[in-house]
């Protein structure tokens, strides 16, 4: 079994690293490059950068940030937000990204998933999904940083996306995001039962016991923002908590 990955998530608006609750009430945290470098030096396994207003304004402003990060950070970097074409993907990869996370454009034109995985490899194509609970065991997929409903069932959509070529899934539980109330383990279990690609959990990490719960249902990695940005825990402390619970985690 591969080890559980600890993945700092950096949501970016313009030049600033920001953080909200349920993707709303955004607060400026600081310089995304400084935080990314700190997490890399502290042992992060990967990084996720998300331009949270890119789809709204139909552009991604992360190129300079990623290019700067790639000069000093040597772990996989995933970039998301406003990526709508093969040219956008190519630009991000040339800037230093290893993977792209696509949500809104994939919902609008699912064939884009196949095009990206066919051209750059399925390992590059991360299906980003924003999930809001709409009933017992049911979640709806949202786009535009949790602003727009799609009418799509999250589990059905993820299954379709993987069938089309997505090599990884980044699932954000919008109801949990920024609340520190814990990951949506029911959602993670359901997703992992549907697909056999790596699943990254995002939204709600609060207590280190979340790591064991997520791993127990097959989750490959946990994307963490709040606990790291506000320095409630460091990457190494989170990893040690995981190892203390018997998980295979690289220190």
Classify 222 as helix, strand or coil. Answer: strand
Residue from 11, 140, 184, 210 carrying the catalytic annotation:
11
Contact 63, 93 (CB under 8 A): no
Residue from 88, 130, 140, 210 carrying the catalytic annotation:
130
> How many other CB atoms are found less than 10 A from the CB of residue 199?
25
> Whats the size of the chain, residue-wise?
251
Distance CA 47, CA 97 (A): 10
Tell me, yes or no, if 46 is annotated catalytic.
no
Tell me, yes or no, if 168 is annotated catalytic.
no
> How many other CB atoms are found less than 10 A from the CB of residue 91?
18
199 strand-pairing partners: 169
According to DSSP, residue 13 is labeled E
Active site positions, annotated: 11, 130
């Amino acid at each position: 079994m591969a080890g559980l990955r600890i993945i700092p998530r950096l949501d970016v608006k313009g030049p600033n690293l920001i953080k909200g609750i349920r993707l709303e009430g955004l607060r400026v945290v600081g310089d995304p490059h400084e935080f990314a470098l700190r997490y890399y030096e502290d042992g992060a396994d990967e990084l996720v950068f998300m331009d949270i207003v890119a789809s709204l304004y139909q552009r991604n402003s992360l190129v300079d940030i990623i290019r700067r990060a790639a000069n000093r950070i040597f772990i996989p970097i995933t970039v998301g937000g406003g990526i709508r074409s093969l040219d956008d993907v190519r630009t991000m990869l040339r800037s230093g990204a290893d993977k792209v996370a696509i949500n809104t454009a994939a919902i609008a034109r699912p064939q884009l998933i196949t095009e990206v995985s066919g051209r750059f490899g399925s390992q590059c194509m991360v299906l980003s999904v924003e999930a809001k609970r709409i009933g017992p065991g049911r979640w709806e997929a949202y786009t535009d940083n949790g602003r727009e409903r799609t009418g799509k069932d999250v589990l059905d959509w993820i299954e379709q996306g993987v069938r089309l070529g997505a090599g990884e899934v980044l699932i954000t539980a919008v109801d949990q995001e920024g609340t520190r109330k814990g990951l949506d383990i029911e959602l993670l279990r359901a997703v992992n039962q549907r697909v056999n690609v790596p699943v990254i959990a995002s939204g709600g990490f609060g207590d280190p016991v979340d790591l064991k719960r997520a791993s127990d249902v097959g989750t490959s990695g946990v994307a963490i923002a709040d606990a790291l940005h506000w320095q409630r825990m460091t990457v190494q402390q989170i990893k040690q908590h995981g190892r203390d619970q018997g998980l295979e985690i690289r220190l």
